[in-house]
Amino acid sequence: MLELIRTNDMVRLSFVVALLRDAGIEAVVFDGHASAVDGSILAVQRRVMVDDEDFAPARGVMLQAGEELPAV
């Protein structure tokens, strides 16, 4: 699996997961529990992960939606 984004913005997480699901791409949020334990103070950010073969299509979907992504 590859990391698509890293954030603690719950609205953005929800939007990205829904956006990818609508495109037929399964996304998994990693580190949700660890982030909650630290109080979501950015010490541990949640990561949206996708399968290796879905990485390029997922980036395309997100860019089309106007989402900013880190450089690869």
Q: Is residue 13 part of a domain?
A: yes
36 located within any domain: yes
pLDDT digits (tens, 9 = 90+) for 26-35: 999 998 777 5
Assess whether pLDDT exceeds 70 at residue 39.
no
State the residue range of the domain holding 25: 2-64
CATH of the domain at 53: 3.30.70.790
Number of domains in the chain: 1
CB-neighbour burial class of residue 6 (10 A; exposed 0-12, middle 13-18, buried 19+): middle
> pLDDT, tens digit, for every residue of 41-61?
667 788 999 999 999 999 999
Could you tell me the pTM of the whole model? Answer: 0.82
Q: Give which of 19, 14, 6 is closest to 48, Cα–Cα.
A: 6
